[in-house]
Amino acid sequence: MIYFSTFSQSEGLTNSPYSLYGLGTINQTTLGRYNSMGYTGIGQKSTTDINNLNAANFALIQKGTFLYDVGLRGNYNTYENYNDLESKAYFNFSNLAFAFPLGNKGGMGITLLPYTDVGYTLIGKQNNIEGSTDTYESNVDGLGGLTDFKLNFGYALLPSLRLGVSASLLFGNIEQTESFSLESSAFTQEKSTNYSGFKIGTGLQWDITKNTTLGSTINFPVNLNGNQITNTIKIVDNAEVAVQEDEKSKVNGFTLPMELGLGISTVFKNNWTLNVDYKKNYWEQTNQSEFLGSYIDQDVFGVGLAYKKEGRNLNYGQRIAFRTGYTYDTGNLRVGGNSINGQQFTFGIGLPTSYRSGSMVNLSYAYGTRGKIDNSLIKENYHMLTLNLSLLDNWFLRRKIN
Amino acid sequence: MRFITSCIVLLTAILISCSSDSYNSSDFVAGEGFTNSNLKVITFDTLTLKTSTVKLDSFVTGDASRILVGSYTDPIFGTVTASSYFELEPESYILDHDAVYDSITISLKLDGYFYNDTTLTQKIEIRELLESVVPTEDYFYNTSSIAYSSNQILGTLSFTPRPLQKDSISTRLNDSLGLNLFERIKEKSITDQAGFRDYFKGMVLLAPEQDNSCILGYAKDAGALTVQLHYTQEDEDNTVTYTLDFNLSAYGSTTPFFNAITSTYNLESLTAITSQEQEVVDSITENKTFVHSGLGLATKFSLPTIKSLDDIEGSGSLLSANLKFYPSAQDHTNNLPLNDSLSVYLVDRKNVILNQLTSASSSAIYAVLNKVDSEFNNTYYEADISTFADLLYTTTDYTDYGLLFLPPNNNSTVDRNILTGSNALVNPAKITINYTIYQND
């Protein structure tokens, strides 16, 4: 059977069925132009926009400037398994960020990004009734996600060596509802869990030549604590009965792994920028498992390429930046012999807002797949559009010109 | 800069409008292996179900919807006899001085109800009551009786009943009664109901020969049972026939009427019941339990060990409780049929009826007879007693309470049902519990 939901029906916060696991699907999108370069940029130097991928880069924010980045994204996702095919479209908040210099050698910024998204509805799950050969169907759905409120600080130790630290407050709520009906009875359990925790990270950028920079990042593992409120109702004999009312409990926290990142970025032939990133997330050490499978170490490879004509060009067309990228993710969950891997192709352009300013409207399109069709597995294809306004405000310079 | 500012405003507006937490809807079937369930459902029919027979001390029959007369013999309950007592009320107390007595008759109308064999000739004996039809307590019960004249029969009815046709039947009554009533009204020595009652206290309809025929129901509504005085009066040219009707008396708070239902009982364990508190468990009565509306026999179900559901690992909740019980095949024949449904009453630990069991929507709960085919193995009663079982399990207010099963309108019928108890080897009564475990402790 094939279902196509219309755009209006599926509007709302929804995500991959895989967002059932852990704390949801980990958000890959970042700020500005990096969304169209395969989400790479650990090694990329930038003075005109916010590079959230490496805190060390905040040291490069120029004196007298103020950087903003506002983004939103739209997704069109298709989920498919042996039996079913469904498509969904939705809009979502992408990011809010600003950054500013601190003295001559430092800079800092605050970014607000979705950290995970949860939005799944699994219907018609067949369960055995213990003590008989009969079955019943249950529905599971989840909604919510975590937000990353991140403070970055970068400092230039040497003109060619920058160090950064970041502190993230991860917080959010995930609601999971499971319900079923059996004969004339029905049962619904709603679990609402608030998670919170601090994640600390460091970053380094080293300009090995004028045009080439190496970068590295470390995010330290963190255990997120969960406070759960459970509400359970049942319908017996057509009457609603409360089984659990606002029952509070502490749930086992969820551990985020140690994450290492390495990146190199180089500018060649004046107009071209090439980024290569590699990230490793040590999920195995978190000793966590899910019903479907267990967590495995995750490798993420990314490559990004951008073209922008050097210098200030009078022709608007010559000021447009063109970007593309590719990323491959081995996945953090192994099911049987399969890991839930994914890949994405990204394309994008950057449109300067005016001749004088360094502000850009960044549009990016990504096509990605995740998972595969197997016994119980789902393959997910998605198209994603992100729109970022990456703004550079010259606080003192501007008045002079005006 | 103005461009930038407007862009930010616009973007923020879009963001706010689009990131609403509207609930996602989906028809995507993810498949069985995709996720586990926090919830587990188990079903079992092994919970102890105690089945017994309880005998109501008495129940009010003064408000019965019909007149019951007749008798039949039953292998278990012996000879079951119904007789009906009532007072009459003249429709007027005026007779002309030139009126001439002719005769007195009684007529009855079958209301369609019957139990047992209607092919035999039915006999009814009508006798005069010696005492007024006034209850010694507040009401008349199935066990009430009033002395009646043993030497004089007012009249007899003998007929082959056709209950489904709702025939009317009538007979002449003793003329000495007729003449006496006629003269007293005519001479104005009876001018009101009190005076009438002083002279004629009422009558009883009896089944004289306690043979194995049937008990029949007669309509009780206005004009269905009448005693008529027939008389003539000279007109200018002709002799005209008139009647004076006597109807069922309907004055006062208590209708002067009741059906008495007695039995000789063949089963000693039933005779031995002396109080309503007593419970005869099915193991004493050949793993059977009994229901007889006229005699006030009810089958009781109780769940003495329902609190043991707490022993199931984890936190759980009751989803449904369904009773299933079978009629005893050899104790029912075409003449001794089953009820299509049984009413359910909540009783306390002393078997005092508290109320009729209703669902949450206040509609009465019945045990409904399922007749899949003519095989008795597939004929059973089912009752959803989920709400009761859940209250019994989750609260302490209902501890040791039970459920009584009786035919609907049990004050106006003589229906019988013999059921297999929970100890029966074949088709034992069972309760099926659906239970969900929602939390592993």
CA B406 – CA B182 distance, rounded (Å):
46
Helix (H, G, I), strand (E, B) or coil at A217: strand
CA A166 – CA A201 distance, rounded (Å):
5
Distance from CA of B16 to the nearest CA of A (A): 8
Q: Which of A72, A82, A236 sits opposite B14 (nearest CB)?
A: A72
CA A135 – CA B321 distance, rounded (Å):
18
Residue scoring higher pLDDT (A78 or A17): A78
Q: A87-146, pLDDT tens digit by residue?
A: 777 777 788 999 999 988 999 999 999 998 888 877 777 888 998 999 888 888 888 889
Q: Which of B4, B22, B319 sits opposite A236 (nearest CB)?
A: B319
Cβ(A76)–Cβ(A63) below 8 Å:
no
The CB-side HSE value for B305 (13 A sphere, CA atoms) comes to: 11
CA A389 – CA A354 distance, rounded (Å):
13
Cβ(A59)–Cβ(A367) below 8 Å:
no
Q: Name chain A contacts of B40, Cβ cutoff 8 Å.
A: 127, 130
CA B436 – CA B434 distance, rounded (Å):
7
Q: Name chain B contacts of A189, Cβ cutoff 8 Å.
A: 38-39, 438
Q: Which two tokens stand for residue B182?
A: 């006629």
Q: Which residues of chain B have pLDDT under 50?
A: 15-24
Look at the alpha carbons of B259, B264, B265, B266 in this order and tell me if their dihedral is positive or negative.
negative
Q: Residue range A18-28: average pLDDT?
A: 82
- Find tokens 């009101």 and name the residue: B192
Comparing alpha-carbon positions, the chain A residue that sits nearest to B6 is A389
Cβ(B133)–Cβ(B256) below 8 Å:
yes
Q: Which helix (H) or strand (E) holds A149?
A: strand A135-158
List A363's β-bridge partners, or say none: A349, A387
Q: Which of B2, B26, B39, B436 to mutate to test the interface with A (most CBs of A within 10 A)?
A: B26
Comparing alpha-carbon positions, the chain A residue that sits nearest to B390 is A236
The DSSP secondary-structure symbol of A39 reads T
What is the DSSP code string of B258-302? EEEEEE--S-HHHHT--STT--EETTTTTTEEEEETTTTEEEEEE
User: Which pLDDT does position B324 carry in this prediction?
Assistant: 95
Distance of CA A74 to the CA centre of its chain: 13
The CB-side HSE value for A285 (13 A sphere, CA atoms) comes to: 12
Distance from CA of A17 to the nearest CA of B (A): 8
Helix, strand, coil tally for chain B in percent (to 5): 15, 40, 45
Report residue A35: phi and psi, to 5°.
-65, -30
User: Which pLDDT does position A118 carry in this prediction?
Assistant: 86
Q: Listing from the earlier edge strand, what are the strands of the sheet with A294-295?
A: A294-295, A333-335, A338-339
Task: Say yes or no: ipTM exceeds 0.95.
Answer: no
User: Which pLDDT does position B10 carry in this prediction?
Assistant: 57
List B148's β-bridge partners, or say none: B129
CA A44 – CA A273 distance, rounded (Å):
9
Residue scoring higher pLDDT (A275 or A317): A275
Q: Which of A189, A234, A393 sits opposite B38 (nearest CB)?
A: A189
Q: A178-231, pLDDT tens digit by residue?
A: 999 998 899 999 999 999 999 999 999 999 999 999 999 999 999 998 999 999
User: Which pLDDT does position B12 carry in this prediction?
Assistant: 55
Q: Which of B7, B32, B438 sits opposite A389 (nearest CB)?
A: B7
Q: Name chain B contacts of A191, Cβ cutoff 8 Å.
A: 38
Cβ(B247)–Cβ(B255) below 8 Å:
no
User: Which pLDDT does position A93 carry in this prediction?
Assistant: 75
Q: Which of B37, B40, B319 sits opposite A234 (nearest CB)?
A: B319
The residue extents of the domains of chain B are 42-57+275-439, 66-263
Q: Which of B4, B29, B42 sits opposite A123 (nearest CB)?
A: B29
Provide the strand spans (E) within B279-422: 280-281, 288-292, 297-302, 315-325, 341-347, 353-356, 366-371, 379-384, 402-406, 416-420
Can you say whether residue A131 is alpha, beta or left, with left for phi > 0 and alpha for psi between -120 and 50 degrees? Answer: left
- CB distance B8–A129 less than 8 Å? no
User: Which pLDDT does position A402 carry in this prediction?
Assistant: 43
User: Which pLDDT does position B373 carry in this prediction?
Assistant: 67
Q: Is B96 exposed, middle or buried (0-12, 13-18, 19+ CB in 10 A)?
A: exposed
Contacts of B129 by beta carbon, 8 Å cutoff, 6+ apart: B85, B146, B147, B148, B149, B201, B202, B203, B204
Q: Name chain B contacts of A291, Cβ cutoff 8 Å.
A: 35-36
- Find tokens 């005016």 and name the residue: A354
Cβ(B7)–Cβ(A79) below 8 Å:
no
Chain A to chain B, count of Cβ pairs less than 8 Å apart? 206
CA A304 – CA A324 distance, rounded (Å):
6
CA B328 – CA B414 distance, rounded (Å):
18
Can you say whether residue B271 is alpha, beta or left, with left for phi > 0 and alpha for psi between -120 and 50 degrees? Answer: alpha
- CB distance A88–B24 less than 8 Å? yes
Cβ(A222)–Cβ(A183) below 8 Å:
no
Q: Name chain B contacts of A333, Cβ cutoff 8 Å.
A: none
Distance from CA of B352 to the nearest CA of A (A): 25
Q: Which of B2, B27, B35, B388 to mutate to test the interface with A (most CBs of A within 10 A)?
A: B35
User: Which pLDDT does position A12 carry in this prediction?
Assistant: 32
Cβ(A364)–Cβ(A374) below 8 Å:
no
Q: B247-287, pLDDT tens digit by residue?
A: 988 755 568 899 999 998 888 888 888 899 999 999 999 99
Distance from CA of A242 to the nearest CA of B (A): 10
CA B70 – CA B84 distance, rounded (Å):
10
CA B204 – CA B132 distance, rounded (Å):
12
CA A348 – CA B36 distance, rounded (Å):
40
Distance from CA of A174 to the nearest CA of B (A): 12
- CB distance A378–B37 less than 8 Å? no
Q: B299-343, pLDDT tens digit by residue?
A: 999 999 999 999 999 899 999 999 999 999 888 888 888 899 999
Q: Name chain A contacts of B384, Cβ cutoff 8 Å.
A: 184, 237
Distance from CA of A243 to the nearest CA of B (A): 7
Contacts of B307 by beta carbon, 8 Å cutoff, 6+ apart: B393
Cβ(B351)–Cβ(B54) below 8 Å:
yes
- CB distance A70–B1 less than 8 Å? no
User: Which pLDDT does position B169 carry in this prediction?
Assistant: 93
Comparing alpha-carbon positions, the chain A residue that sits nearest to B25 is A10
Give chain A's domains with CATH numbers: 2-401 (2.40.160.60)
- CB distance B320–A292 less than 8 Å? no
